[in-house]
Each structure stands twice: as structure tokens, then as C-alpha cells.
Homo-oligomer: A and B are copies of this chain.
Amino acid sequence: MQYQFTVEGMTCGHCERAVVHAVREVDTDAVVKVDLATKQVSVESDKAREVIANAITEEGYKVAA
């Protein structure tokens, strides 16, 4: 599935990588793209949207949409 999230709190390249890694921890095969400027995180994954959202939240970022 293809998911789109608006994620608050990502400020720099480290944050981008932290989000990518957090998602990959729950789905090794996930394809994750982060656009820092627009706060958009797109994820291609077989996992449920909630699982991906939780992984991002637990990394310390806020999934706004």
C-alpha cells in the first residue's frame, strides 16, 4: 500500500533518517521518502497504516495527518 503522512517535528537530515529507520524497523522492505520542507512522508509498505504511523510517533515525531 502507498501511504502519505504529514509529520511534525522533523527539522533536519538526522530527523529524516530517524523517521526512515523507524519505519524500516517495522517493515524492512518499506520504501520511505521524506520531504522535509513540506513535512510529507510517503511510505510504500505491506503493513497497516497504523503500524507505520505508530513507528513514526514512537520515534518522537507527530503524525498530523
Contacts and interface: CB of A to CB of B under 8 A. Distances in A.
Interface residues of A, number: 5
Interface in A17-52: 18
Contacts of A12: 11-12, 14-15
Q: Chain copies in the assembly?
A: 2
Determine chain A's interface SS by DSSP, over half rule.
Answer: helix
A15 B10 CA distance: 12
Contacts of A18: 14
Contacts of A15: 11-12, 14
9 contacts: A11-B11, A11-B12, A11-B15, A12-B12, A12-B14, A12-B15, A14-B14, A14-B15, A14-B18
